Chains A and B, each alone.
Chain A
Amino acid sequence: MTAASSILATLPPSRPAAPTAPHGRPRRRRFTPARVGVYAFLCVAAAFFLLPLYVMLVTSFKTMDEIRSSSIFALPWRPTFDAWVQAWSSACTGLECRGVSVGFWNSVLIVVPSVVASIAVGAVNGYALSLWRPRYGNALFAILMIGVFVPAQVVLVPLVRMLAGVGLFGSLPALVVVHTIFGMPIMTLLFRNYYGSLPDELFKAARIDGGGFWRIFWSVMLPMSTPMLIVAAIMQVTGVWNDYLMGLIFGGSGMVPMTVQLNNIVNSTFGEKAYNVNMAATLLTSAVPLLVYLVSGRWFVRGIASGAVKG
């Protein structure tokens, strides 16, 4: 057995592998005022959080006449899927009137490599910066952390020139590079903190075992990174899927993401605002990140509990 794994085996469980049971008062299922208060608060909060979603759903099932004549909270008299069908396949987004479906697969094609690339680079950066500590590491990291405060559009023109200069413009690889660039500060921050919070002995032992840079990363650090990878993946999928600007500028005419279609439908300068179609289109475009959160919400919390996002 390597020194690293033997150390792993002897480490006391300093951190719960999974979130422990909720804290608070011991199990008391009676309807005490405190208990009622807790549920009341949570329900009121839930109503606040659900309000916009309810409005969006309800409006998307109405006809325009109904919308014009009733309040936004009223349930539809005669619910219809028309708006959804239109939003998906026949709303006008320019010359074409094929709805947001056109952009769906483009968005998928954009998100998968971009998320993989930005997480990979972020993880390697975090690993190198926090464990190997090259002399220039802090300086580079500081540049990233300061640069992240500059709005993207400001640096767009020099970035476009630089990327076009190496032939990376108007294509999927260009977009993947751009998402990696703009995701790097936060990804590096998260992974750097994560790896920094792992016990020192692990890394030291692995080096004693004679592991090189990549070996240690691949066989020791990466397997321990699952919680952080999950958190990073959830955040990046959301961020890249919801991106509009980069996809528009760097993607080229054949690689337009769903968010651009959505903008074309919802924000047409001069035209009738079909609110039901707009809301249906908005929900369709947000469906993927929503699904990701709904399905993996618990992993998100667990991932953070396991040490991701430590200061």
Chain B
Amino acid sequence: MPNAQPLPVAVRPAAPRARPPRRVNVWLHVALLPLALTALLAYLASTVWTVALSFTGSRMFPSSRFVGLAQYERLFASERWSIAIDNLLFFAVFSILLCTLVGFLLAVFIDQKIRAESLFRSIFLYPFALSMVVTGLVWQWVLNPEMGLQAAVRDWGWQSFTLDWIVSEDKVMYCVVLAGVWNGSGFMMALLLAGLRGVDEEVWKAARLDGIPVWRTYFSIVLPMLSGTVATALTLQLIGSIKVYDVVVAMTRGGPGLASEVPARFIMENIGSRSNLGQAAAASTVLLVTAVALLVPYHYLRKHQAAKSGHGA
């Protein structure tokens, strides 16, 4: 075969990553034992148990009294649950969107060779160090109409200032989103800043030469380059959003009335004070199915994209 020289490493086309030869590698399997145990026992078995429980009439304790789909019927007829789901959608969509947007803006601005960059970065990142309980508590104090911002501004003279969202049924979820964005934007900023820093100077120069305005460069060229990082970050945020609980409990306790109820809180209440494990299990199963319904197509989409770009990731 002519020209049988192997190409230099850097130029060789990216071959699909080959599987290591199939020797019996004991250590590999031993090392993965914790993963296997955790996945199979702690996650799979527990999840199966939960799903099974959702078909029983369990009250405070697990029971094996089969009730068919009765728990699901109850669940879907429950006003509290439908409010919870609505709130979850609202919270997930808006907090993820805003965190990403705010994080991106902050990253872009910090990236502008400013002075005191470390200071600004610490200011934006520190809320992420606080637990969601603390986040909820602190924003509840600030947004409290009698004790917080509204009272303070009125004291300063602006008598008609109103910021009583947290006690209003329609607007309380805005407050929860606000607290979530305050907590999580810094993390997005850190991610995106790191990504921005990794963008080669050449790209900027080329874009400038082509006459592309700066903001377009960000959106059409740079952002797509960060897609991997953004995707992982979005996954992490989605996980956090679906399980949102602490911040709601600390901030509003699901109130006023039922207005800020969320699925995780619905589930906890049913496990605890309402003593209805069956409902809690049904609600958890619904959450799970929703998550799977979102993740599976997403996973295949990424795989498809990765295959298209010849990447072995």
Contact = CB atoms under 8 A, between A and B. Distances in A.
Interface stretch (A80-88, A99-107, A186-194): A186-194
Contact of A304 (B34, B49, B190, B231): B190
A310 B194 CA distance: 11
Nearest to A163: B42
B167 interface: no
B197 A16 contact: yes
B182 A49 contact: yes
Nearest to B264: A151
Given A42-B120, A266-B137, A72 B147 contact: yes
A249 interface: no
Interface stretch (B64-72, B73-81, B105-113, B168-176): B105-113
Interface stretch (A17-25, A89-97, A167-175): A17-25
A250 interface: no
A148 B239 CA distance: 7
Given A300-B190, A302-B194, A310-B232, A55 B141 contact: yes
- The residue among A158, A242, A266 with the most chain B CB atoms within 10 A of its own CB is A158
A301 B313 contact: no
B125 interface: yes
Interface in A103-145: 121, 124-125, 128-129, 132-134, 136-137, 140-141, 143-145
B216 interface: no
Interface stretch (B25-33, B93-101, B158-166): B25-33
A132 B28 contact: yes
Interface residues of A, number: 103
B129 A301 contact: no
A190 to B, nearest CB: 8
B196 interface: yes
B118 A298 contact: yes
A155 B267 CA distance: 12
A48 B121 CA distance: 14
B228 interface: yes
A146 B120 contact: no
- The residue among A50, A147, A289 with the most chain B CB atoms within 10 A of its own CB is A147
A298 B230 contact: no
B200 to A, nearest CB: 8
A254 interface: no
Contacts of A225: none
A303 B43 CA distance: 30
Interface residues of B, number: 106
B212 interface: no
A162 interface: yes
B268 A19 contact: no
Interface in B1-49: 9-10, 14, 17, 19-20, 25, 27-29, 31-32, 34-36, 38-47, 49
B239 A24 contact: no
Nearest to B144: A72
A95 B205 CA distance: 67
A184 B186 CA distance: 23
B266 to A, nearest CB: 10
Contacts of A305: 193-195, 197-198
A282 B281 contact: no
Q: Which 7 A-B pairs have the closest CB atoms?
A: A311-B228, A147-B43, A242-B131, A305-B194, A155-B46, A71-B152, A19-B197
Given A298-B118, A305-B194, 7 more contacts: A23-B111, A41-B109, A121-B34, A141-B39, A153-B268, A197-B228, A302-B194
Interface of A: 7, 10-12, 15-16, 19-25, 27, 38-39, 41-42, 45-46, 48-53, 55-56, 59, 71-74, 121, 124-125, 128-129, 132-134, 136-137, 140-141, 143-151, 153-155, 157-159, 162, 180-181, 184, 186, 188-190, 193, 196-197, 200-201, 207, 212-214, 238, 242, 244, 259, 263, 266, 275, 282, 285-286, 289-290, 292-294, 297-298, 300-305, 309-311
24 contacts: A10-B9, A19-B194, A19-B198, A23-B199, A49-B182, A52-B138, A55-B142, A56-B138, A72-B151, A121-B35, A140-B40, A144-B39, A149-B291, A150-B287, A154-B46, A154-B50, A154-B280, A282-B137, A290-B130, A297-B118, A297-B190, A301-B190, A305-B198, A311-B229
